[in-house]
Amino acid sequence: MSKVLKSIYMPILAVVIAIIIGSIIMLATGFNPVAAYSSLFIGAFGTLPNIANTLANAVPLIITGLGVAIAFNAGLFNIGAEGQYWIGAIVGTWIGYSFKGLPWYIHIPLALVAAMIAGGLWGGIIPGFAKAYTGAHEVITTMMMSYVAIYFSHYLLEFGPMMEKGSVPQSPLIRDSAVIPTIVPNTQLSYGIVIALVAALFVYWLMYKTVWGYEMRAVGFNQRASKYAGMNVPFNIVLSLSLSGIFAGLAGAVQILGVQHRLYDSFTSGYGYTAIVVALLAKNNPIGVVFSALLFAALGTGSQYMQLNAQVPGQLTDVITGLIIFFVAADKIIELFKTMFKKQKKEELAS
C-alpha cells in the first residue's frame, strides 16, 4: 500500500501545485478561485449528466493514453498517436457507414478490429520497422505518419470519396448497427467506457503479468541488457509500437462509433497529444492512465461549466493543464524543492 502511495505521490503533488498556482493566477486576474474550482468540480461531477459527459470525454483519452503508455514502457515515444487515432477513426467511419445489413454484434467488432489493425499498421509496422532495422527515430517517423493520416482525412472529406453529399466537409453518418449505444440518455456516454476500462485492465495484465510485457519493459529500460539476456530487441520495438498504434486506432473508432457517429473535417482531435500528457502523469501505469485521463476529462467538461457559471475563461484550465504537464515533466524541480526545504530545516535545527 505504501508503495502505491509512494508512486502516486509525485503526480498528485504536481496536480496540487498546479491547482495552487492556478488559483494565484486567478486571484491576480481578479477571479475567485474557490468559486471557479467549485464550479469546475460541479461541472465535471456535480450531476449525473455531468459525470456521464466527463466519463465520455475520458474514453478516447484512456484508450489513446494506454497506447502511448505501452510505447513509453518500451522506451519509445509514440508522438504520432494523433495520426493513429485518425486512421482508426477513418477506418471505423468507413466500415460504419458502408456496410449494410450487418447485425450490431458483427458490425461494431468489425469496425473496431479493422481500426485497430489500421492503427497498428500506421503506428507500429511502419515506424516500428524503420526504427528496429534502420534506426530511424520513432519521434520523427510517427509524427510524419501522423501528418500523413491527418492530411489523408482532409483529402477524403474535402471532396474526396468519404465526403457526404452536401455542403459541409464531413462523412455520412454511420449506420445504426455500428453505433455503440449510449448508457446515460441525453449524454455522450456510450458503452465505449466499458471498452476503455477493459482495455486498461488488459494492458495492465499484458504489461505486468505476461512474458511479452516483461520483454517490452525490459527492452524499454535497457536494450543492451535485454539483448544480452537473449531477447529479440527489434521484434519488441515493432511489437510495442504496433500495440501502441492498435490502441490509438481503437480510440478513434470508439469515438466515432460511440460519440461522433461521423467523421468531421478538422485539423486535430487533440486526443493524441493530450494522451501523451495522460500517460506521463500516470507514469505509464495502465491503471494510472484511467485516473489521469479522468482528471483531464474533468478539466475539460468542468471548464465549460466554469465559464458558464463562474465566468472564468475556459483557457484557465489550459493553464492548469500546462502547469500539470510542467510539474510532471519537471518532477526534478519538485525534488529540488524538497531538498531545499530539507536543507532549510536542517539549518534551522543547527542554529
Q: Which of residues 1-60 bind other proteins (CB under 8 A)?
A: 3, 16-17, 20, 23-24, 26-27, 30-35, 49, 53, 56-57
- Beta-carbon contacts of residue 173 (< 8 Å; ≥ 6 apart): 97, 164, 261, 262
Q: What is the smallest separation between the CB atom of 47 and other proteins, expressed in angstroms?
A: 8
CA 27, CA 24: separation in Å to the nearest integer? 5
Taking the least distance from each CB to other proteins, the nearer of 133 and 341 is 341
Q: Are 252 and 88 in contact (CB under 8 A)?
A: yes
Is residue 227 a contact residue for other proteins (CB under 8 A)?
yes
Q: Between vectors from CA 163 to CA 176 and to CA 113, what angle results, nearest 5°? A: 50
Residues in the interface with other proteins (CB under 8 A) total: 71
The residue within the footprint of other proteins, chosen from 307, 316, 323, 327 (CB under 8 A), is: 307
Taking the least distance from each CB to other proteins, the nearer of 101 and 161 is 161
Angle between helices 33-45 and 2-28 (to 10 degrees): 130
Q: Which of residues 53-112 bind other proteins (CB under 8 A)?
A: 53, 56-57
Residue in the block written with cell 456521464: 52
Q: CA of 80: how far to CAs of 98, 240, 242, in Å? A: 27, 14, 12
CA 231, CA 228: separation in Å to the nearest integer? 7
Q: What is the smallest separation between the CB atom of 35 and other proteins, expressed in angstroms?
A: 6
Q: What is the smallest separation between the CB atom of 126 and other proteins, expressed in angstroms?
A: 26
How far does CA 91 lie from the centroid of its chain? 19
The residue within the footprint of other proteins, chosen from 229, 330, 333, 336 (CB under 8 A), is: 229
Q: Which of residues 232-261 bind other proteins (CB under 8 A)?
A: 255, 259-261
Q: What is the smallest separation between the CB atom of 337 and other proteins, expressed in angstroms?
A: 7
The residue within the footprint of other proteins, chosen from 264, 319, 325, 326 (CB under 8 A), is: 264
Q: What is the smallest separation between the CB atom of 197 and other proteins, expressed in angstroms?
A: 19
Taking the least distance from each CB to other proteins, the nearer of 133 and 337 is 337
Select from 99-107, 127-135, 229-237, 245-253 the region that touches other proteins (CB under 8 A): 229-237
Q: What is the smallest separation between the CB atom of 34 and other proteins, expressed in angstroms?
A: 5
Binding string, residues 320-339; x marks residues near other proteins by CB under 8 A: -----------------xxx
- Beta-carbon contacts of residue 21 (< 8 Å; ≥ 6 apart): 323
Is residue 133 a contact residue for other proteins (CB under 8 A)?
no
Q: Which of residues 186-225 bind other proteins (CB under 8 A)?
A: 186-188, 209-212, 214-215, 217-218, 221-222, 224-225
Taking the least distance from each CB to other proteins, the nearer of 109 and 315 is 315
CA 71, CA 181: separation in Å to the nearest integer? 31
Q: What is the smallest separation between the CB atom of 32 and other proteins, expressed in angstroms?
A: 4
CA 116, CA 315: separation in Å to the nearest integer? 33
Q: What is the DSSP string of 52-71?
A: HHHHHHHHHHHHHHHHHHHH
According to DSSP, the residues that pair with 170 across neighbouring strands are: 264
Taking the least distance from each CB to other proteins, the nearer of 242 and 307 is 307
Alpha helices by DSSP H, 99-209: 104-120, 126-129, 138-157, 192-209
Q: Is 190 helix (H, G, I), strand (E, B) or coil?
A: strand
Q: Are 292 and 306 in contact (CB under 8 A)?
A: no
Q: What is the smallest separation between the CB atom of 200 and other proteins, expressed in angstroms?
A: 18
DSSP-derived secondary structure letter, 180:
P
CA 153, CA 145: separation in Å to the nearest integer? 12
Taking the least distance from each CB to other proteins, the nearer of 107 and 217 is 217
According to DSSP, the residues that pair with 264 across neighbouring strands are: 170
Taking the least distance from each CB to other proteins, the nearer of 110 and 233 is 233
Q: Which of residues 156-185 bind other proteins (CB under 8 A)?
A: 158-159, 167-169
